[in-house]
Structure 1
Amino acid sequence: MTTTRTKQVPRLDEMTRSELIQYLKDTVKPEEGLIPSYIFSHPKVYELEMEKIFLKDWLFIAHKSEIPNKGDFVTRELGGQSVIVTHGADGEIRVLLNVCTHRGMKLCRMDNGNQKNFTCPYHGFNFKNTGELIGIPFQKVVYGDTMDKSTMGLKEIRHDVYADLIFATLDDDAVSLDEFLGDIKWYLDLAFNRAEMEVVGLPQKWNVDGTWKLGSDNTISDSYHTLVSHGSIAKLGLVPTGDYSKYGYQIYTGNGHGLNLGMPNPDGFAFPENLINEYKERLHEDQYDILKQMKNMIVCVSPNIMILISSMELKGQQVSHTSLRIWKPTGPDSMEISAWVLVEKDAPEEWKRLSEQANTLTFGSSGIFEQDDTENFTDITQNSKSPYHLQENIVYNYTMGMHQEPVENFVGPGIVYKDKFNEANSRAFFRNWLDQITAE
C-alpha cells in the first residue's frame, strides 16, 4: 500500500514575505465568502497591514470644529506617527510631524490647546505653529554662523479636507482624497454636510483586546447581529421589534467603503425641525428625501472609520445623534477606539444636550450597544489565536446574501441591496483589504 502525502505548508511564523503573500491569496477567498481565522490576530499579517494600509491610506485625524481659532491644535496619531494638527497664525490648517528636527524629541505632549509656538522639552528649540524653526538657545555661542534655521522646519504631512473632516496620508504618491473617497461622499454629506456641524467636547478613548478589522467589518455589513447581540434593546422597548435592523439598504461604494442605511423611520423626523431650511439648502433633493426617512445610517470609510447616525426617544421626542469613531490598531490583537460626538451648530442647546446624552447611552464607551460589541470583538480575536494546525482549518462563513441581486434605480450611488441582512459589503471589504496587503 502506498501513502500519498500532501505538500507541507510552512508555519506562518516561518514563511518568507513572498510565501505569506501567496498564502493570503490562496486562503482568503472573499468572493466565496470564506475568511480564515488567522488574519484576525497573526503578527505577520498585522505587519503587512501597517505597511500596506496604514502607511498609505488617507486616515481621519480631526474635525475642523476642534481647531476653530488661530493657534488651536490637537495631537493625533497617523500610521503610528504622532502629528500636530494646527490652525496656524496665518489661518491655514497644517498637519505637522510631532518630531523636533534637532534630535527627534516629541515636540508637543498635550492632547489639545492653543499655542503660538511649540518649544522642544529636550533642548528648547522653538517652532512657530506654522512649522518654522524660529529660536535656538545660545545659537550664536553653540553654532556660530553655521546654522540655517530655514532648513529645519517641522515636516508637513500631506492632508486634505472633505465636509470639515481632516484626512492625512503618509504616502506622497497616494491618489487624491477626492478619488479615495469616491461615491461615499454622497452619504458623508448626510452626516456632515446637512448642516454646519461641531464636535462636542473631546473624543472619548478606550482600549479593546480585539482587532481593528472586526470593527470595520461590523460597521460595513453586520446589521444581522443586532437580533441577538443587542436583543435586550427590544425587551427594553427602545425599538419595536428585534428585527428592526433588517429594514433598509446595504450599499457598497468602492475602495472598501460602504454603509447600512435604515429606513423608513416609523417614529418620524429625528432631526431639529428648526434646521429644515438649512438641510434643504445644503443637501440635494434626493439626499434630503433620504434624511427625512432615515432611521439610522452606519458608514464604514476604509480602512477604520465608523460614522453613525441613529436616534432614540428622550423627553417625549425623537432625538438623533451623530458620531464618528476610528478603530486604531495598537497591535495584531488590540485597538484603541476614539469616538467623537457631533451636533448641528445651530440646533437648540437643549436638543444638543439630549443628542449627546442619546449617544452616551447607546454608543458611548459604557453604552448599551458598545458593551455588547466589545465582547464580540474580544472573543472572536482570542478564538482566532488557535494553534497553527487549527488555524489552517478554521474558516469563517461570510456567504449571507450571495443569492440576492442588487436593486436598480436607488437614488444614491453604489451597489445597493434591499434589506440589511447581507454580507455582500463584508466580502467587498475583505477583497479590498486583500488587494491592498498583497500588492507588490
Structure 2
Amino acid sequence: MTVTDDPTTQLPTPHGPFVEDDREAHSFRVHRSTMTSPEIHAMELERVFAHSWLYVGHESEIRKKGDYVRRPVGGRQVFMVRGRSGQVNVFHNTCTHRGAMVCRAERGNAKIFSCFYHAWSFNTDGELVGIPDRQAYGDDLDFGKLGLRPAAKVDSYRGFVFLSYDPDIVPLVDYLAGATEYLDLVVDAVEDAEIISGTNEYAINANWKLLAENSIDGYHAVSTHDTYFKYLVALGTDLAGGVQGTAKALGNGHAVLEYTAPWGRPVAKWEPLFGEGAREEIGRLRAELVAKHGEERASRMTDVNRNLLIYPNLVINDIMAVTVRTFMPVSADRMEITAWELAPSQEQPQLRQRRLDSFLTFLGPGGFATPDDIEALESCQQGFHSGGVEWNDISRGMARTPEANDEEQMRAFWRRWNEQMIGEAR
C-alpha cells in the first residue's frame, strides 16, 4: 500500500504503515488513522494490551486479608484480592459456571465471593468452595478445575502490582527496564507509601495515545497551561528561570520527562503558595531526606520533577504531588481515566491536606491542568476527523540532545507501539 500527502488520499488500512521514522533525516511521523480507526483500536487490545505488563493497583489498597478492589485492566474486568496467606491474587472477574462477574463491588473485604446468578462461591484464593444442590452434578465433579482463573502473570515492583495476559512475557523487572530507577526515586521519597482512599475518574473523547503523549510532553506546558503560570506569579513564585530538564527513553516504550521547575513540592520544597507557616516544617522534611539518602539523591527527590510513562498506559506524575494515573481505551475516540494519590501512610494531617490540595489543584478533573489538557486532546480528535492532513509530526529534538520540551519521549512510546502492532502481524 502506498500513502501520499495528497489530502484526498484515504487513511491507510490497519496494515500500516503507521509510523515513519527517518533518523538520518530527523523526521518522525505518525499516521492519524492510529487515532481514529476502530480496526486499529481492536488490534491494540490484542497486540498491545494483551502482550504488555499492565498496572492493576497498589499493594496498599489491599492491606488486610480479604481486602479487594475491582477494575478494568486492558479492556477486561479483573479484581485484586489479598489471599488467605497474605499473597496478592488477581483474577478474571467471571464465574466459571456461566460467566457472571463474581466481584460486584468496587472495593471491600470478603472471605467468599458468591456469584449472584447461581450462587457458586469462591474463596480469596479463587478456589470453588460451594455449589447449591451439589448432588445434581454427580460424584465426578472436580472442584479443583472450576476455580477462578488468575491472570496469566502477576507480579509487583516496590508495591505497584502488574498483570499480563501473556504467559510468555518477560519478567516484570526486565520489562520495566530503566523505569525502575524512577520508581525507586518515587517510593524512596515516600515513607511506607500508600494509595490514599478515593480516586479521580473521568473520560475524554479522544484516543488514549494522545494522553500517553500529553503526559510526558513538556512542549505544551507554557502555551496550554498559561492560566496556571499566571496564578503562580500572582502568588509570588519566580518563573524567570523557566522549566529546564531532559527527556529520556527508558526501554520497552517507557520514557521520562525530568526537569527542575519553579513551583514547589508540598513535602520538601517550599514556595509562597504553602504559606510562611509551612516553611520550617518543609525544611525539616527535606533535612530528613538528606540524612537518609544523602544530599545528591535527596535533591533529586525534592528539587526535580518527573513525569514517568510506563508503557502502555501508566503515568506517575511526581510533581506537586505524586499522582498515579491510568487511561483505558473504550473506543478509538474515547478513554476512561483513573487517578490516585500516593503518600506516606503515617503522614501528619496538615501535610496530607497540603498534598491533596496540590493533587487536586493542578491535576484534578477541575484543576488548572486537566481541563486544559482535555480541551486540547478533544480538539485534536476533532481535528483528525476534519481530514486534509494525514500525518502528525513528532520530530522535535531529533537533531539535538533531547531537552524537556522536545519529543524523544513520545517517539520512544511510538516505536514500541509500532513494534507490537506491526511485529505481531508478521
TM-score (norm 1): 0.84
Conserved? CA contact 2:257–2:404, under 8 Å? yes
Return the alpha-carbon distance in structure 2 between the equivalents of residues 191 and 203 of structure 1: 19
Q: Structure 1 128/386 Cα, relative in aligned 2: closer, same or farther at 3 Å?
A: same
CA-to-aligned-CA distance 1:228-276 (integer Å, 9 cap, x gap): 1101122223584678653122222111111111226575842855555
Q: Deviations over 1:136-168 (max 9, x none)?
A: 01101x113131211111111121111110011
Query: Could you say what secondary structure the match of 1:85 adopts?
Result: strand
- Give the aligned partner of residue 148 of structure 1: 142
Give the AA of the match of 1:143.
Answer: Y
CA distance in 2, matches of 1:282, 1:88: 34
The 1:361–1:153 alpha-carbon spacing in structure 2 relative to 1, beyond 3 Å, is same
Is 1:203 aligned with 2:213? no
Residue 81 of structure 2 aligns with an amino acid whose one-letter code is T
Q: Report the residue type matching 2:330 in the other structure.
A: T
> Which of 42, 46, 49 matches 1:54?
49
Matched, 1:250 2:247: yes
Q: Which of residues 165, 184, 190 is equivalent to 2:179?
A: 184
| Unpaired stretches in structure 2, ≥5 consecutive residues | 271-281
Calculate the TM-score normalised by the size of structure 2: 0.87
After superposition, the Cα gap between the structure-2 partners of 1:201 and 1:303, relative to the gap in structure 1 and judged at 3 Å, is same
RMSD: 2.5
Structure 2 residue corresponding to 1:289, chosen from 293, 299, 304: 299
**Deviation, structure 1 residue 280:** 5.3
Report the counterpart of residue 314 of structure 2 in structure 1. 305
Report the equivalent of 1:213. Answer: 209
Deviations 1:18-43 (A, max 9, x none): xx334335x57686122222211211
Deviations for 1:287-323, whole angstroms, at most 9, x for unmatched residues? 33311422x2111111111111223xxxxxxxxx111
Partners of 2:120 and 2:422 in 1: CA distance: 42
1:270 counterpart letter in structure 2: K
Structure 1: distance between partners of 2:55 and 2:142? 34
Alpha-carbon separation, structure 2, partners of 1:263 and 1:28: 30
- What is the alpha-carbon distance in structure 2 between the residues aligned to residue 243 and residue 47 of structure 1? 46
Q: Give distance in 2, aligned partners of 1:132 and 1:94.
A: 12
Structure 2 contact 316–325 (Cα < 8 Å) conserved: yes
Residues 209, 244 of structure 1: CA spacing in aligned structure 2 closer, same or farther, 3 A cutoff?
Answer: farther
The whole-number CA distance in structure 2 between the counterparts of 1:68 and 1:98 is 20
Would the alpha carbon gap of residues 29 and 111 (structure 1) be closer, same or farther in structure 2, given more than 3 Å must change? farther
Alpha carbons 1:234, 1:241 under 8 Å: kept: no
CA distance in 1, matches of 2:192, 2:213: 29
Distance in 1 (alpha carbons) for counterparts of 2:376 and 2:261: 28
In structure 2, the residue matched to 1:337 is 337
Tell me the distance in 2 between the aligned counterparts of 1:215 and 1:169.
22
Q: Distance in 2 between matches of 1:333 and 1:266?
A: 34
Q: Which consecutive residues of structure 1, in runs of 5 or more, have no partner in the other structure?
A: 1-5, 312-320, 406-416
Conserved 8 A contact 1:33-1:398: yes
Q: CA deviation at 1:102?
A: 0.8
Partner of 2:375: 375
Q: Which residue of 2 aligns with 1:99?
A: 94
Change in 2 beyond 3 A, CA 1:205/1:180: same
Residue type of the partner of 2:316? I
- Contact kept, 8 Å, 1:28 with 1:36, in 2: the verdict is no
Q: 1:281 to 1:438 in 2, by over 3 A?
A: farther
State how 1:314-393 maps to structure 2 within 5 Å.
321-387=321-387, 390=388, 393=389
Moved more, 158-167 or 41-50: 41-50
CA distance in 2, matches of 1:167, 1:284: 31
Match of 1:316? none
Matched, 1:431 2:418: no
Q: Does residue 1:117 correspond to 2:112, yes or no?
A: yes
**Equivalents in 1 of 2:250, 2:28: separation in Å?**
19
Give 2:124's aligned residue.
129
Q: Are the equivalent residues in 2 in contact too, given 1:28–1:434 (CA < 8 A)?
A: no
1:337/1:308 CA distance change after superposition, 3 Å: same
Mapped partners of 2:147, 2:18: distance in 1: 42
Separation (CA, whole Å) in 2 of partners of 1:281 and 1:50:
46
Query: Conserved in 1, the CA contact under 8 Å of 2:92 and 2:150?
Result: yes
Give, in whole Å, the separation in 2 of the partners of 1:281 and 1:70.
35
Query: Which residue type is aligned with residue 376 of structure 2?
Result: N
Contact 1:305 1:326 in 2 (8 A): yes
Q: Distance in 2 between matches of 1:381 and 1:28?
A: 23
Cα distance, 1:423 vs structure 2: 1.1
What number of residue pairs does the alignment pair up? 400
8 Å Cα contact 1:227/1:243 also seen in 2: no
- Structure 1 residues 368 and 244, CA, compared in 2 at 3 Å: closer, same or farther? farther
Aligned to 2:259: 262
- Is this contact kept in 2: 1:118–1:128, CA < 8 A? yes
Aligned to 1:3: none
Once the 2 structures are TM-superposed, how far is the Cα of residue 72 of structure 1 from its aligned partner?
0.1
